Structure 1
Amino acid sequence: MSQNKSLSEVFSSIRLPEKNTVWFKRFLAFVGPGYMISVGYMDPGNWETDIQGGAQYGYTLLCSIILSNLIAILLQALAARLGIATGKDLAQACKAYFPPFINIPLWFACEIAIIACDLAEVIGTAVALQLLFGFPLIMGALISAFDAILVLLLMGKGFRYLESFVISLISIIAVCFFIQLIAASPPLPSIFQNILPSAQVIKNPGMLYIAIGIIGATVMPHNLYLHSSIVQTRAYERSVEGKTEAIKWATLDSSIALMFALFINAAILIVSAAAFHTTGHKDVSEISEAYRLLSPALGISAASTLFAVALLAAGTNSTVTGTLAGQIIMEGFLNLKIPSWARRLITRSLAIIPVIFVILLYGEQKIDSLLMLSQIILSFQLPFAIIPLVLFSSKTNIMKEFVIPKPIAFLSWAVSIFIIILNIKLIIDSFT
């Protein structure tokens, strides 16, 4: 039976305090998966759209980051509910409830998304290593392959160690940008007046394009598969009462964690606006260019180093969660188990090869175009994750007592259609 359990090696492995324990201790036992999935909302692929938005349009596109975060909170809550209510992750649910002619394209689309996600991680890690230590991008891309060993070591110690490692790196990213925010000293009135959406965003085609890019690059399809699986690592009672409590704490965990992702994405845009937009460097759109100009713009020599350290932490974190997502997708759709190190090296090789090919053929200056391509691919794959998630969550015969209420179902479908339309527009605009 164990082969039918999502991530069977860590399934129900984290024990919970007794029921009569104070609520906060019970909640802390569920803290972790939310931070694991928050990594996908601050990965290197998001950085370029945030940097470009801040440099070109100042603080105006903060509303896009907030909107995308609210969408993420809703979708991740659905993913956690599905995993806890059914005992299946999203990939297993697809295999159980869809016929093979739907499942095979779904699985293929997911694998493409994992490779595209890996591509962003490889590029982010390679660029960070180049900025910090001067490594050539090809060397940095090759070094990123060794993350499989890191994940194996952490998983061998227990899932809590993996979660602690991820949370530690998120903390490093947050501290780095908190210092940069203080150095940037952005005008608070300008920030607060751009929290709500503005008609200006819709009227300006260039601004609308970047706004859509921010929303499209934020919601990651592999995160929905990941979250529906790792919430099952807690040893909650598999009863109606136990699942109800687990859904409550898991939803709170992911909502709080995604607020950290909101802070980091907003901080990237705000720092970019303060450092580049207000100083006349409105054409900054690449990570390496932002690194080069950040210290002179802010007048603090450590600013660029902090930026690169945060980028390295984000890239490393994304590789950890990408490893798990790849394993969950392959095992869920195919019921096929291969050693995680082999699975990781296969997908990482498929991501490294395009990076090396582009560098050798076109030079390092084209690496940012490859990063943008990875985000377009992810945008294209998003419907293949969102539609099954909302469909399953709103079906009583699948969710039983935990089916989402009709108003939430309506909102979820509306958000899904909204995201899909935006991503289609993003793909068309990117090519035209």
Structure 2
Amino acid sequence: MQKKKSSIGWRNENKHPSLSEVFSSVSVPKQKGIWKKLFAFTGPGLLIAVGYMDPGNWATDIAGGAQFGYMLLSVIFISNFFAIILQHLALKLGIVCERDLAQACRDHYPPFISFILWILCEISIAACDLAEIIGSVLALRLLFGIPITWGVLITTIDVLIILFFQYKGFRYIESVVAALIFTILVCFSFEIISSKPEIFPILKGIIPNPEIIKNSHSFYISIGILGATVMPHNLYLHSSIIQTRDYPRTTEGKKMAIKYATIDSTLSLSLAFFINAAILIISSATFHKAGYTEVSDIMDAHKLLNPILGSSLSGVFFALALLASGQNSTLTGTLAGQIVMEGFINIKFKPWIRRLITRLIAIVPAMIASIVYGEKGTTELLIISQIILSIQLSFAIVPLVNFTGDSEKMGPFVNGPILKISAWGITIIIILLNLFLLYNTLLGRR
């Protein structure tokens, strides 16, 4: 019996659409209006961009700006370029193969390998959720003076918020994320204007400087920025949520979907680049300029912003952006958790059960650290969560690059020679940097 076209190149046939409750639920206009089609595809990129501006990225950006001024802007720029390429591959996999990355792994690898990949991915999602909790908890303490222990408990309430918007429809989730990103953007725009950075040093910082490699400490921070560039759950997430669009499942329809989805992804990640660069620029224009080169902690950064800039609103906007960042990441982390569990082992829980399980796994270590060590403990947990994410990253990138470079699976949409070389080059760089970062962290070289 001849296999269906959708199962060519796969061990198993994919029987269930990704995120079935919202699959193909967002209409795409059939007429040739470019702007209407682009608007229809706008949304998934914003959900992905959230992973590049979550609380876990803040510490490295703050430390980089405080210690080395604008020099590491080039590292953020290169990191963003890597992200654009890898997220393009993720959306292409979802559109062409009609599988998310978790389903693709299940349908390609033997059950044992697929099970191992699932466990690793669940650990990374819990680690990412831990970073989101810490970011929200610190923001609540900064804004309202809520003790860290109580803040950890308050973060469980977002389960109900997410449930509400999931039942409303996928466009509602995208709208909430867009509103929170806009909040972050406004906050950092205010901070940049207040800090009065120098334009020419910023432009110079975007150009790679050999001093980055020569100085062991700047090189280490650069690895921290590069190594945690792509959140592993973002690759699973993007390959799934792009399928919420109701485009024709034909060769021409898929070609159109890839085009507009890539524009959405690239523009959204460019926004993420601006926000990450803004954190480093503000840190440079305030802490580095004032001689506070040892600032590397979110709480310390908040304490110093008001006296340096001479505005009581600076600290408020900083904390508000942190809270929006933590809550935004929580929304996308929930979806990623659902996608990973359903994709790898084909088990479907109700969203509130799935969210509660993930949140409880992250709450336990956060609660213990906050009770025993206070603020210092939560900062250490933030670092540990980023290390866990770095370890898992390779196990997400390698299958993605492998699948999208397979002509049997991708057909006419297979990666071309230049894209294939670029994708494998980026993969090798990220793997080596993450291994180096892990090795040095375990040896206590920070």
TM-score category of the 2 structures, normalised to the smaller one: over 0.9
Contact kept in structure 1, 2:302 and 2:319, CA below 8 Å: yes
How far, CA to CA, are the matches of 1:62 and 1:417 in structure 2? Answer: 22
Contact kept in structure 2, 1:48 and 1:287, CA below 8 Å: yes
The reply on whether 1:236 has 2:251 as its aligned counterpart is no
Contact kept in structure 2, 1:2 and 1:8, CA below 8 Å: no
What pairs with 1:199-214 in structure 2 (closer than 5 Å)? Answer: 199-214=210-225
- TM-score (ref. length: structure 1): 0.98
Give the counterpart letter for 2:331 in structure 1. V
Give the equivalent residue in structure 1 for 2:189.
178
How far, CA to CA, are the matches of 2:309 and 2:76 in structure 1? Answer: 23
Q: Deviations over 1:299-338 (max 9, x none)?
A: 2210010000000000000000000000000000000001
Deviation at 1:18, TM superposition (A): 2.6
What pairs with 1:294-313 in structure 2 (closer than 5 Å)? Answer: 294-313=305-324
What pairs with 1:367-406 in structure 2 (closer than 5 Å)? Answer: 367-406=378-417
Give the equivalent residue in structure 2 for 1:218.
229
The reply on whether 1:142 has 2:136 as its aligned counterpart is no
How far, CA to CA, are the matches of 2:199 and 2:434 in structure 1? Answer: 31
How far, CA to CA, are the matches of 2:221 and 2:260 in structure 1? Answer: 34
State which of 58, 71, 93 in structure 1 corresponds to 2:69.
58
Q: Deviations over 1:161-197 (max 9, x none)?
A: 1001000100010010011101111111110111111
Contact kept in structure 1, 2:14 and 2:103, CA below 8 Å: no
How far, CA to CA, are the matches of 1:2 and 1:17 in structure 2? Answer: 27
Give the equivalent residue in structure 1 for 2:28.
16
Q: Deviations over 1:106-126 (max 9, x none)?
A: 111100100000000000000
Give the equivalent residue in structure 2 for 1:125.
136
Worse-superposed segment, 2-11 or 336-345: 2-11
Deviation at 1:204, TM superposition (A): 0.4
What pairs with 1:19-168 in structure 2 (closer than 5 Å)? Answer: 19-20=31-32, 22-168=33-179
Contact kept in structure 1, 2:134 and 2:378, CA below 8 Å: yes
How far, CA to CA, are the matches of 1:326 and 1:146 in structure 2? Answer: 17
**SS of residue in 2 equivalent to 1:382:** helix
Worse-superposed segment, 293-302 or 342-351: 293-302
How far, CA to CA, are the matches of 2:53 and 2:332 in structure 1? Answer: 12
Give the equivalent residue in structure 1 for 2:264.
253
Give the equivalent residue in structure 1 for 2:238.
227
Give the counterpart letter for 1:205 in structure 2. S
Give the equivalent residue in structure 2 for 1:417.
428
Identity value in percent = 53
Backbone CA RMSD of aligned residues: 1.1
Give the equivalent residue in structure 2 for 1:342.
353
Give the equivalent residue in structure 2 for 1:356.
367
Structure 1: gaps (5+ residues): none
State which of 247, 256, 270 in structure 1 corresponds to 2:281.
270
Contact kept in structure 2, 1:119 and 1:352, CA below 8 Å: yes
Give the equivalent residue in structure 2 for 1:5.
17
Q: Deviations over 1:24-66 (max 9, x none)?
A: 1111100000000000000000000000111111111101100
Tell me how many residue pairs correspond in the alignment: 431
- TM-score (ref. length: structure 2): 0.95
How far, CA to CA, are the matches of 1:74 and 1:401 in structure 2? Answer: 19
**SS of residue in 2 equivalent to 1:218:** coil
Give the counterpart letter for 2:316 in structure 1. T
Deviation at 1:3, TM superposition (A): 6.5
Structure 2: gaps (5+ residues): 1-12
Deviation at 1:218, TM superposition (A): 2.2
How far, CA to CA, are the matches of 2:185 and 2:360 in structure 1? Answer: 30
